[in-house]
Amino acid sequence: MDSLSQKLSHHFLDAFKDSDVACLSEVTPQGLDQSAVVSSNTNLAGTLGIRGNFLDDPDTQEMFSGNLVPSSIKPVALVYSGHQFGVWAGQLGDGRALTLGEIDVSGELWDLQLKGSGATPYSRFADGRAVLRSSIREYLCSEAMNGLGIHSTRALCLIDSNTPVYRESVERAAIICRVARSHIRFGSFEHFHYRGANDMVKKLANYVIRRHFPSWEVGSEGYRKLFKNAVQETAKTIARWQSVGFAHGVMNTDNMSILGETIDYGPFGFIDTYDPMFICNSSDSQGRYAFVNQPSMGLWNLNALANALVSLVSPEELTSILQTYEPTFRREYFDLMAQKLGITDFIETDSELIDRLLLILAEEEVDYTNFFRSLCEYQTKGGGDFLTKVLKNSVKFNSWLADYDDRLSQEPALSQERRSKMLAANPKYIFRNYMAQEAIDAAEQRDYSLVNDLLNTLQTPYDEHPEMERYAGDPPNWASSISVSCSS
């Protein structure tokens, strides 16, 4: 226990506890009754330099269950504000999360947070809890995204309990330990800006620069770089979402990381049958965050961030940096899509080939992930079910294939080499909602094996996992009836 808790520092707390405008609260977690370990992420533990079996130590388990706060640890909840569904929502904050401290990962500090550990001063009228089901979803999706090579918060462990939580029915409370390079959101800057606390906007920017970009100067040039980094990393992250068919569901500015990483897994969903209008969040009646809208919503959010930074960077500079969003997004997106097709160097005319294919997949209602995985075998074995059965009679697809053949003939790689590259660009396993549901159903009966099997599979989604083969096929019919909504 000592070894882990003593590794944690409190740089954020030290930097902000005496600020004129409050930006955090020291809090005490509310623990869980009869905590039980669902899963611990030995892979991430290794990255953090802690023992893979860290939860074997009873005190450490108690810490991650919110029941024990070692004397060296000072948990804090952060305040932030945000635009929710395009509307200014005012003050929000860590309503059900607290940061235990920071841990040094190769010279950079990463936060360790508990999520679901009870009410904080920012809970408003809610209970500060997270139910087991949503915690399993966040735990596995964070790791699935990381496995796909998409920048994301991580998850170190997941604890179940007997503590009741009252939602539509009585459920069990759980806590995950979320790990992130930063928990500072666009909404953290908006919070201070809209209170007229420009000195705090600056202090926060200085903090982010010193912690994450120590080689940058703290001052005008550093602020420009910080915003440019947010614009470009957000563009790239969203491009990666689009390339794997991930829909976030709640792209409010309080759920956007200043480092451009994916954060806050709620009603997210991966696309099964390709549908650009896919809306994963049943509360999103207007489809504001529909799959196809995500790139433009990213830009909308960056505009909101720009507004919050006007005291640091001139409007002209903010505007010109914002203009780099679209080209950055396009470059990243088309590079990734080209790789999925086995094209090494994207050329502008490939965009037409890609767009046309997506239209066909939508029209023919084809499974997005399975199509691309099958396509890896096209040149060597004819291309699996989709090409030989599902799309065989599509005139449009066959004419697309002819153009695809032409394009591949200009590529330097031989088909075997291309096949291996494509297998590394087209995941076999994505975290589909029905898989989450099966893991949840078992865990509710206290069988945690599927959570752990999925963790293992989703961390290396491009590899073969013969024992998990059934999760590589089409989702079952009942999958389309799953509905997921906001915070739970």
Work out what residue 171 binds among ligand AMP, Mg ion, none; the CB cut-off runs from 5 to 8 Å by kind. none
Stretch that binds ligand AMP, among 123-131, 310-318, 433-441, 468-476 (CB under 6 A): 123-131
| Whole-number Å distance between alpha carbons of 329 and 323 | 11
Stretch that binds ligand AMP, among 60-68, 89-97, 148-156, 227-235 (CB under 6 A): 89-97
Q: Closest-CB residue for ligand AMP?
A: 95
Strand extents, DSSP E, 68-198: 76-78, 81-84, 87-91, 97-105, 108-115, 130-131, 154-160, 164-166, 170-180
Shortest reach from residue 286's CB to ligand AMP, in Å: 16
Using CB under 6 A, which of 59, 127, 233, 438 touches ligand AMP? 127
Work out what residue 96 binds among ligand AMP, Mg ion, none; the CB cut-off runs from 5 to 8 Å by kind. ligand AMP
Residue 84 sits in the site that holds Mg ion (CB under 5 A): no
- Which whole-number Å values give the CA distances from 148 to 182, 298, 460, in the listed order? 20, 20, 8
350 has catalytic annotation:
no
- Which whole-number Å values give the CA distances from 452 to 101, 140, 157, 212, 472, in the listed order? 26, 9, 11, 32, 17
Residue 255 sits in the site that holds Mg ion (CB under 5 A): yes
CB 165 within 8 A of CB 126: no
Tell me the helix, strand and coil percentages in the chain, rounded to 5: 45, 15, 40
Residue 468 sits in the site that holds ligand AMP (CB under 6 A): no
CA atoms within 13 A on the CB side of 233: 16
Residue 118 sits in the site that holds ligand AMP (CB under 6 A): no
Residue 113 sits in the site that holds Mg ion (CB under 5 A): no
Using CB under 6 A, which of 142, 255, 293, 301 touches ligand AMP? 255
Which CB, 94 or 284, lies closer to ligand AMP? Answer: 94
Using CB under 6 A, which of 22, 126, 310, 402 touches ligand AMP? 126
Residue 88 sits in the site that holds ligand AMP (CB under 6 A): no
| Whole-number Å distance between alpha carbons of 116 and 64 | 11
- Which whole-number Å values give the CA distances from 96 to 113, 122, 174, 367, in the listed order? 10, 8, 11, 36
Stretch that binds ligand AMP, among 16-24, 87-95, 351-359, 434-442 (CB under 6 A): 87-95
Shortest reach from residue 359's CB to ligand AMP, in Å: 33
Window 129-158: residues binding ligand AMP (CB under 6 A): 129
Shortest reach from residue 125's CB to ligand AMP, in Å: 8
Which CB, 250 or 313, lies closer to ligand AMP? Answer: 250
CB 124 within 8 A of CB 232: no
Residue (of 156, 168, 154, 147) closest to 60 by Cα position: 156
Which CB, 126 or 424, lies closer to Mg ion? Answer: 126
Catalytic, out of 94, 254, 284, 367: 254
Helix, strand or coil, per DSSP, at residue 84: strand
Q: Which helix (H) or strand (E) holds 37?
A: strand 36-40
DSSP result, 349-395: THHHHHHHHHHHHHHTT-BHHHHHHHHTTHHHH--HHIIIIITTT-H
| Whole-number Å distance between alpha carbons of 351 and 334 | 7
Which CB, 190 or 335, lies closer to ligand AMP? Answer: 190
> 18-38 burial string, b = 16+ CB within 10 Å, else e?
eeeeebbbebebbbbeebbeb
Residue 92 sits in the site that holds ligand AMP (CB under 6 A): yes
416 Rama sector, left if φ>0, alpha if ψ -120 to 50, beta otherwise:
alpha
Which CB, 129 or 193, lies closer to ligand AMP? Answer: 129
Using CB under 6 A, which of 250, 308, 435, 458 touches ligand AMP? 250
Shortest reach from residue 254's CB to Mg ion, in Å: 5
Residue 335 sits in the site that holds Mg ion (CB under 5 A): no
Shortest reach from residue 264's CB to Mg ion, in Å: 4
| Whole-number Å distance between alpha carbons of 300 and 310 | 16
Stretch that binds ligand AMP, among 61-69, 250-258, 304-312, 386-394 (CB under 6 A): 250-258
DSSP result, 3-30: HHHTT-B-HHHHHHTT-SS--EEE----
Shortest reach from residue 85's CB to ligand AMP, in Å: 10
Which CB, 187 or 260, lies closer to ligand AMP? Answer: 187
Positive or negative, the CA dihedral 18, 19, 22, 28 is negative
Catalytic residues: 254
Q: Which residues bind Mg ion (CB under 5 A)?
A: 255, 264
Q: Which residues bind ligand AMP (CB under 6 A)?
A: 92-96, 123, 126-129, 250, 254-255, 264, 266, 486-487
